[in-house]
């Protein structure tokens, strides 16, 4: 046989063998897809069934909620009250307490609380101890929080950071520690309301810093409390229409920050930057904010009443499909994405 004939014979045999192997691999891959699909469907059904189970004897369980003047906290207090829980709703204002009492049952108790004041937190904890008795506290929901001031980092002062951290982070820690012995008695729950901006910092200022801190506290607390039978959950909402995302207050905040800036910082950003920021803020908030606050409330309720709560809850379409995926992007890509959505300006050289 000539070399050409040998090569043709080898090539023909190889082609047949390769074609056979390719067909075999395709059949195996198809089987793998079917096997994977066969596993995914039962897993989804099992997860749904597991998550649908609820705790019993709700009338014996006490739930302590902070920040019930309005928004998520107010809706959650009313929702749990209808379900039969004994709700202890803390409000920052007397008006908030009075209005909540008018629309809830006699089971619901209200109290005044300033989460940034340790004496107020201690007083509330002492009152709760007398209310719950030997059964202990089933759950605490750290919902209270603020979002202003917010703006570029070099517009801020250290006092802006301290004031927000006192409420959003230190308040969460203080309230949790004040009632943790009561939660241990009931082998209950701690539910911390963070934000998708505890996963990704899309803008400057103290808000993202405070929520990153809540995420860290939540994770360490979950690990430390697991041996005691305490479940710790974190709620990570996206943009919702609450007092925190009130565009009127946000625009007023930007103007106030701008007015107090030194002249050299204003010149760095240019005279048109403030108005560009306000216009972009209104455009983004109108596009992203969700008016259905019950999406977050249902996550909170599940964390409190489910036999097997999740460790994290992402509430809102923007959280699930934009902000959380953005948190897993390479830093260079995420930075380019967020810079591209910031108000355009040319820094002064």
Give pLDDT tens digits for 26-79.
555 555 656 666 666 666 665 656 667 888 889 999 999 999 999 999 999 999
What is the largest distance, in Å, between two alpha-carbon atoms of the chain?
Answer: 102
In this predicted model, what pLDDT tens digit does every residue of 215-254 receive, in sequence order? 999 999 999 999 999 999 999 999 888 877 778 888 899 9
The mean of the pLDDT values for the chain is: 86
Closest CA to 111 of 130, 124, 102: 124
Q: How far apart are CA 268 and CA 270, in angstroms?
A: 6
Is residue 71 in a domain?
A: yes
- pTM for the model stands at 0.84
Other residues' Cβ atoms within 10 Å of the Cβ of residue 150:
23
> Which one, of 127, 125, 169, 126, lies nearest residue 145 by Cα?
169
3-state helix, strand and coil shares in percent for the chain, rounded to the nearest 5:
65, 10, 25
Instruction: Single out the residue of 277, 193, 275, 276 nearest to residue 232, CA to CA.
Output: 193
β-sheet bridge partners, residue 109: 88
Element (DSSP H or E) covering residue 330: none
Task: Specify if 333 maps to a domain.
Answer: no
Q: Is residue 199 part of a domain?
A: yes
Residue 13, token pair as written in the block: 């045999």
Among residues 165, 159, 192, the alpha carbon closest in space to that of 176 is found at 192
CA dihedral 243, 248, 253, 258 (to 10 degrees): 160
Give the CATH number for residue 112: 3.40.50.720
Catalytic, out of 62, 92, 207, 269: 207
Residue 304 lies in a domain: yes
Written as six digits, the tokens of 337 are 């994405």
Query: Over the stretch 125-176, which tens digit does the pLDDT of each residue have?
Result: 999 999 999 999 999 999 999 999 999 999 999 999 999 999 999 999 999 9
In a domain, 93, yes or no: yes
295-334 CB burial, b ≥16 within 10 A, e <16: bbbbbbbbbbbbeebbebbbbbebbeebbbebeeeeeeeb
Q: Give catalytic status of residue 33 as yes or no.
A: no
Half-sphere exposure of residue 63, counting CA atoms within 13 Å on the CB side? 30
From the list 90, 124, 84, the residue with the least C-alpha distance to 105 is: 84
Asked if the structure places residue 2 within a domain, the reply is no
Q: What is the domain count for the chain?
A: 1
Place of tokens 């007015």: 259
Whether 301 is covered by a domain: the verdict is: yes
Q: What is the pLDDT of residues 265-304, one digit of tens each?
A: 898 888 888 888 888 888 877 777 788 899 999 999 999 9
Top-confidence residue, 16 or 290: 290
Compute the distance between CA of residue 121 and CA of residue 124 in angstroms, rounded to an integer.
5
Residue 254 lies inside a defined structural domain of this protein:
no
What residue numbers bound the domain in which 302 lies? 56-240+294-318
């Amino acid at each position: 046989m000539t070399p050409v004939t040998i090569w043709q014979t080898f090539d023909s045999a190889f082609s047949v063998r390769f074609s056979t192997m390719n067909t075999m691999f395709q059949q195996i891959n198809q089987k793998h897809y079917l096997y994977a699909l066969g596993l995914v469907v039962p897993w989804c059904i099992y997860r749904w069934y597991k998550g649908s189970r609820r705790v019993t004897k709700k009338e014996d369980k006490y739930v302590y909620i902070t920040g019930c003047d309005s928004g998520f906290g107010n809706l959650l207090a009313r929702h749990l009250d209808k379900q039969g829980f004994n709700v202890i709703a803390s409000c920052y204002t007397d008006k908030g307490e009075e209005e909540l009492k008018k629309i809830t049952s006699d089971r619901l108790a209200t109290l005044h609380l300033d989460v940034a004041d340790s004496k107020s937190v201690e007083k509330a904890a002492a009152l709760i101890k007398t209310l719950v008795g030997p059964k202990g506290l089933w759950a605490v929901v750290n919902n209270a929080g603020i979002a202003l001031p917010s703006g570029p980092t070099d517009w801020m002062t250290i006092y802006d950071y301290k004031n927000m951290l006192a409420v959003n982070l230190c308040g969460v820690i203080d309230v949790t520690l004040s009632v943790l012995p009561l939660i241990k008695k009931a082998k209950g729950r701690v539910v911390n309301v963070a934000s998708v901006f505890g996963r990704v910092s899309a803008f400057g200022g103290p808000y993202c810093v405070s929520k990153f801190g809540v995420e860290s506290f939540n994770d360490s607390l979950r690990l430390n409390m697991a041996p005691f039978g305490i479940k710790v959950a974190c709620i990570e909402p996206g943009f919702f229409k609450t007092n925190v995302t009130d565009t009127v207050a946000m625009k007023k905040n930007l103007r106030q920050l701008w007015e107090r800036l030194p002249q050299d910082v204003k010149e760095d950003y240019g005279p048109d930057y403030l108005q560009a920021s306000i216009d972009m803020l209104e455009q983004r908030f109108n596009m992203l904010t969700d008016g259905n606050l019950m999406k977050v409330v249902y996550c909170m309720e599940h964390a409190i009443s489910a036999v097997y709560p999740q460790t994290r809850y992402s509430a809102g379409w923007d959280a699930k499909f934009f902000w959380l995926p953005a948190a897993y992007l390479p830093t260079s890509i995420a930075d380019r994405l967020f810079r591209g959505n910031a108000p355009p300006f040319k820094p002064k050289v």
